[in-house]
Amino acid sequence: MRVNALLVAGLGVLAASGCAGVAQAPTGIAQAPMGAALPNHARRNSGTTQYIQHIVILIQENRSFDNFFATYPGAVGATVGLMKTPSGDVYEPLVESDLKQDSLGHQHFSFLKEYDNGKMDGFDLVERAIRRGKKEPAGTYPYRYTKPTAIKPYWSIAQQYVLADHMFTTQGSSSFTAHQDFIAGGTPVDGDNVIDFPSPSAWGCNARPGTVTSLIDQYGNYLRDKGPFPCFSYSTIRDLLDGAGLPWLYFTNPAHSAFWDAFDAISAVRNGPEWYTNIITPETNIFQYIQNSQLPAVSWVIPDTPTSDHPGPHGDMGPDWVASVVNAIGESPYWPTTAVIVVWDEWGGEYDNVPPPQLDGQGLGPRVPLLIISPYARENYPSQPGYISHTQYEDGSILKFIEQNWGLGSLGTTDVRANSIIDSFDFTQPPRQFLPIESQNPSHNAAFFRYHYKPASTPIDEY
């Protein structure tokens, strides 16, 4: 079924006003009148802004591509992996597992062990975090994949829209720098890049004095604790959006507003007025912004611990959380002009069979899943949903798509080399009607997360 193309042209006839200046946690905002036009963010004629006026990026946590899509038909997955032993490499079957899994080491040195010069056989050599903070050698534990019935919403999205099976992390590193990569395309400091978590573990500009970062230089050398305080002045996509007068918002959990927010490490935001106008807590306010016709041009949506998919005993509501946001957009007037991107920040130490290309001496890191949802998401010929993109993507591919869509120019980081995700869209096809994504638990809908969900008070990841 298709929606009338005239609906696309008819939406968004008013100029945007004030989205970037909406106050934090906007309780009591008046609902937009029935039939009110949505803000039009087609500020520059790039050729695609008539189709895409809103980009929503949902960033989940710590899953490799094989951990979620090892058995997905047509994708490059694996159910057997190589494992290093004292007597040589052996083939180790991947075991089917629930969504709740123990966490694995995933710092840069862990990546190097697992990567093993492209052999992808060192996953047994990292640490496995078990109950009460105890750790032990991982052994065969990373060789597993999540059973499809435990992540049905993700498979349903892939079957209807686009699944990319060559999306690589920018750096083989943990969440601190991974979240930077989704706003800056890297962590450039004087020719090097910041990598891993700061020491001691802290997120950004409000870290205690004496906190330092680690670096990786252009030759791939790891410089532990040789980096600056984690409050940076490099440019981000926010600079390009602000320069073009395009609004943006960053939805995050209040428990992590000073910890799980990429812009907490960007001095111009953390120490400026946008910290109070563009950082929205809690992240569940995304539903209110959708309902009240207040979505900006670009939104980032950061989950809470139980909704993050992060391995560990924290909860398994991630698929339902993502489905609820996708459904809220898909069932709203935003659907005809919105692209929703679901991506996992890094691989979390989980097994993956595809060796990441090594570029610039600093990356790429392991594959993660990438889902693209839009009325114009590319289809298989002829007009069959469930397209699998084999194009090599990285975090900068999403930034490049933002830059292209609004004609913003370039940050000059990994967005330069990255392939844009624009090839996963087809703007010549008729826009399709949204079909709701079924949740694992039918009660875990937008109303549940907006009104009844109890946030956690623990950081998602600390190393």
pLDDT mean across residues, the chain? 88
Residue 27 binned pLDDT confidence (cut-offs 50, 70, 90) = very low
Q: In whole angstroms, give the CA distance from residue 428 to residue 301.
A: 29
Q: Of 11-15, 41-45, 284-288, which range is least confident? A: 11-15
Higher pLDDT, 343 or 260: 343
Return the residue matching tokens 């990546």.
111
Residue 419 in contact with residue 392, Cβ under 8 Å? Answer: yes
Would you say 356 and 23 are in contact if contact means Cβ atoms under 8 Å apart?
no
Given a contact cutoff of 8 angstroms between Cβ atoms, the answer to whether 53 and 16 are in contact is no
Which pLDDT belongs to residue 314? Answer: 76
In the prediction, which pLDDT does 37 show?
Answer: 61
Task: Give the ranges where 306-452 is alpha helix by DSSP (H).
Answer: 318-330, 395-406, 446-447
Give the ranges where 175-298 is alpha helix by DSSP (H): 175-184, 237-243, 267-270, 274-277, 286-291
The single residue listed with the structure tokens 């959708």 is 290
Which 3 state secondary structure label does DSSP give 443?
Answer: coil
pLDDT of residue 461: 65
Give me the amino acid identity at 279. Answer: I
CA 409, 344, 142: angle at the middle one, nearest 5? 140
Residue 204 pLDDT greater than 50, yes or no? yes
Residue 42 has pLDDT above 70, yes or no: no
Q: Which CATH architecture has domain 5-66+148-452?
A: 3-Layer(aba) Sandwich (3.40)
CA-to-CA dists, residue 136 to 67, 105, 131, 217, angstroms? 20, 10, 11, 30
How confident is the model at residue 134, as a pLDDT? 80
For the segment 407-445, what is each residue's pLDDT rounded down to a tens digit?
999 999 999 999 999 999 999 999 999 999 999 999 999
Picking from 25-34, 104-113, 276-285, which range would have the lowest pLDDT averaged per residue? 25-34
* Residues 68-101: tens digit of each pLDDT: 999 999 999 999 999 999 999 999 999 999 999 9
Is the predicted pLDDT of residue 33 greater than 80, yes or no? no
Nearest partner of 250 among 219, 224, 195, 289, judged by Cα: 289
* Region for residue 383 given its phi and psi (left: phi exceeds 0; alpha: psi -120 to 50; beta: otherwise): left
Predicted confidence at residue 14, as pLDDT, reads: 28
How many whole angstroms separate alpha carbon 432 and alpha carbon 5? 9
Domain with CATH 3.40.720.10 in the chain: 5-66+148-452
Residue 382: the pLDDT is: 84
Predicted confidence band at 462 (pLDDT cuts at 50, 70, 90)?
A: low
Is pLDDT larger for residue 368 or for residue 5? 368
- Give the whole-angstrom CA distance, residue 414 versus residue 234: 13
E strand or H helix at 21: none
| Predicted local distance difference test score (pLDDT) of residue 21 | 33
- For residue 148, the tally of other CB atoms under 10 A from its CB is 15
Q: Tell me what pLDDT residue 200 has.
A: 85
| 155-164, 255-264, 270-279, 423-432, range with the lowest pLDDT | 255-264
State the pLDDT confidence band at 459, using cuts at 50, 70 and 90. Answer: low
Instruction: Say if residue 16's pLDDT is above 70.
Output: no
Instruction: Decide if pLDDT at 29 tops 90.
Output: no
Has residue 43 got a pLDDT over 70?
Answer: no
When pLDDT is cut at 50, 70 and 90, the band that residue 255 belongs to is low
Share of the chain above pLDDT 90, in %: 79
What separation in angstroms does the CA of 91 have from each of 77, 120, 122, 334, 366?
15, 12, 12, 48, 20
Confidence label for 36 from pLDDT (cuts 50, 70 and 90): very low
Note the maximum CA span of the chain. 70
Mean pLDDT of the region 184-206: 92
Structure tokens at 53: 């006026």
Query: Residue 31: is its pLDDT beyond 80?
Result: no
pLDDT of residue 421: 98
pLDDT digits (tens, 9 = 90+) for 96-143: 999 999 999 999 999 999 999 999 999 999 999 876 668 899 999 999
Instruction: Tell the burial category of 429 from Cβ atoms under 10 Å away from its Cβ (0-12, 13-18, 19+).
Output: middle
**Residue 34: exposure state from Cβ atoms within 10 A (0-12, 13-18, ≥19):** exposed
DSSP 448: I
